[in-house]
Amino acid sequence: MPDWFVYMMPSLTILLFVTAVGACIGSLTNVLVYRMPLGLDVVTPTSRCPKCDHKLTWRENIPIFGWLFLRGKCRFCKCKISPEYPIVETIVAVLFGGIYALWYIVPDDAIFGLGRIAPEWAANGPALTWPAMVVLLVLVGSMVSMTIIDARTSTIPLVLTWVPAGVALIFHTGHAIWFQSKYGNPVMMPAGMDGVWAVPNAHMKWITAPGQVWTLATGGLAGWRFIGIGIGGCVGLILSNLFLKFGWLTRSFADFDEWYESNHTSESDANTSEESELGTEELEQAETEPAEQPESSIEDWLMYPHARREMIRELAFLCMPVVFGLGGGWLMVQMFGQWTTDLNSGHTFAPDNAPLWLVVLGGVLMGYLIAGGVVWAVRIGGSLAFGKEAMGLGDVHMMAAVGACLGWIDPTIAFFLAAFVGVAYAIVAQVFSGKLSRAMPYGPFLAVATMMMILGKPVVEMGLGRIFGMVGPLNLP
């Protein structure tokens, strides 16, 4: 057995495990994609054939291989099983395994001379950074589910955005608490080594992106205002949601269903009058065809005539997050961020750095607020300008979750990059199909742009550098 294979055996074993976990998450994705739009429970009943109701055994439930074992047909009723199931499972498995390999196994100069694809923090190794990897993989798995559901139904189940945001809050902050209790706060290395930190209680270096201290954008070690705005803004969000719950604020588009029923009823009456003019033979033929139950579509939302009014409701909802955020930032600076003069020596000095866990908590919360806020601002501005709903609130929640997981910088760039993804899709659709839908869900474009930032950040940086007339990459955190 070659020496290199023996050396790589531990890493390859972990890679195989991560890939297998990805296939299982892909199997879960298939369940979510099928059941959530129908309002079904995602836990019970267990997987079974939708035609004959045969309960699948554990062998038939093995991701990818179960479909191959059954040869794409139910073992009892021979009903065809869609190849979408193994395709989705394979995609998620490849994403999980590929990300792990790029982050921890593939050499920095192995990808077409682009340099390091993985973020800087991955250089610390999986033993120290596995919580950040878990957060990233949960985000990727959730985005695959959101993309498929949004492409089919033009809706994003909010629970799929809350899960990665909650995991980011727990894992990022918990990881920082453990790191600080074991090693203490990182200390910046001498000039010329931006992004490399010394750990006081251990003979090691902690590597991050330039200007950052953790595995996501944190605003610096002593960013008390940054921390305060994040905490205060999220407190304001909680209060605004409580106001919604108790009826002190009104949800936007709360009367959409009533408007839709009224509008559809008038169309049904018109169709009835047209049917009365049909001949007997034509009427009998129409009655033999099953009528489909109408469902609201993205075009119906665009036809809703009161979008500007509803944006006023959303602005009212956002008042408390903005006020509490600004107030929290001011309060933190007053309490901890004021420069102080020593009466004995006369020297002016800054306060001690914020605890690492608090810095990371602020990074997660500000990532959530900024990434979601950018999309929400475009939604409100576009709706006020054009009188139609510009973007869905599901898109706001999606990018807020991305911000909580990755920090505020990457999702902000991804949001504007998604516009180019949408244009590219429109061109391809026009060329191959000759037609293009008047309205398309934006969530899939956001997800693709986010994956481009995750897997192709050096290319994006070089592109932005050329656009803005800069030489080389922007070296964004």
> Which of 5-9, 412-416, 419-423 shows the lowest mean pLDDT across its residues?
5-9
Q: How far apart are CA 151 and CA 298, in angstroms?
A: 11
Instruction: With CA atoms as reference, report the closest residue to 229 among 314, 323, 350, 162.
Output: 323
* For range 371-385, the mean pLDDT: 95
Q: What is the pLDDT of residue 472?
A: 47
* Residue 88 near residue 144, CB atoms below 8 Å: yes
The residue among 202 and 162 whose pLDDT is bigger is 162
**pLDDT > 50? residue 197:** yes
**pLDDT > 60? residue 351:** no
Q: How far apart are CA 362 and CA 343, in angstroms?
A: 33
The residue among 124 and 280 whose pLDDT is bigger is 124
**The dihedral of CA 396, 401, 404, 408: what is its sign?**
negative
* For range 314-333, the mean pLDDT: 94
Q: How far apart are CA 291 and CA 279, in angstroms?
A: 19
Cα separation of the two ends of the chain: 41
Q: With bands split at pLDDT 50, 70 and 90, how would you rate the model's confidence at 104?
A: very high
* For range 106-120, the mean pLDDT: 71
Bridge partners (DSSP) of residue 196 are 207
**pLDDT > 80? residue 474:** no
- Tell me what the pLDDT averaged over the chain comes to: 83
* Residue 416 near residue 129, CB atoms below 8 Å: no
Residue 431 located in a structural domain: no
> Which of 59-63, 218-222, 384-388 shows the lowest mean pLDDT across its residues?
218-222
Q: With bands split at pLDDT 50, 70 and 90, how would you rate the model's confidence at 366?
A: very high
Q: What percent of the chain has pLDDT over 70?
A: 80
Residue 47 located in a structural domain: yes
**pLDDT > 80? residue 352:** no
CA distances to 73, 79, 124, 183, 458 from 120, rounded to whole Å, are 46, 49, 8, 19, 12
Q: What is the pLDDT of residue 306?
A: 86
Residue 92 located in a structural domain: yes
pLDDT tens sequence across 53-97:
778 777 778 899 988 888 888 877 878 888 999 999 999 999 999
Q: What is the pLDDT of residue 302?
A: 73
The residue among 162 and 220 whose pLDDT is bigger is 162
Domain count, the chain: 1
* For range 132-149, the mean pLDDT: 97
* For range 426-445, the mean pLDDT: 78
Instruction: With CA atoms as reference, report the closest residue to 368 among 212, 237, 461, 221.
Output: 237
* For range 442-456, the mean pLDDT: 93
Q: What is the pLDDT of residue 338?
A: 60
Q: What is the pLDDT of residue 283?
A: 40
**pLDDT > 60? residue 267:** no
> Which of 19-33, 151-165, 169-183, 217-231 shows the lowest mean pLDDT across its residues?
217-231
* For range 335-344, the mean pLDDT: 62
Q: How far apart are CA 155 and CA 393, in angstroms?
A: 9
The residue among 238 and 44 whose pLDDT is bigger is 238
* For range 409-425, the mean pLDDT: 92
Instruction: With CA atoms as reference, report the closest residue to 11 among 92, 91, 93, 127.
Output: 127
**pLDDT > 80? residue 369:** yes
Q: What is the pLDDT of residue 445?
A: 95
Structural domain boundaries enclosing 31: 1-105
* For range 467-476, the mean pLDDT: 53
pLDDT tens sequence across 3-54:
666 667 888 999 999 999 999 999 999 999 999 998 888 888 778 777 777 7
**pLDDT > 70? residue 339:** no
pTM of the model as a whole: 0.87
Q: What is the pLDDT of residue 204?
A: 82
Residue 378 located in a structural domain: no
Q: How far apart are CA 145 and CA 32, in angstroms?
A: 7
* For range 176-204, the mean pLDDT: 80
Q: What is the pLDDT of residue 124?
A: 93
**The dihedral of CA 140, 141, 144, 147: what is its sign?**
negative
Q: What is the helix (H) or strand (E) element at residue 276, kind and residue range?
A: helix 256-276
Q: What is the pLDDT of residue 343?
A: 55
The residue among 51 and 152 whose pLDDT is bigger is 152
The residue among 271 and 204 whose pLDDT is bigger is 204
DSSP 352: P
Q: What percent of the chain has pLDDT over 90?
A: 47
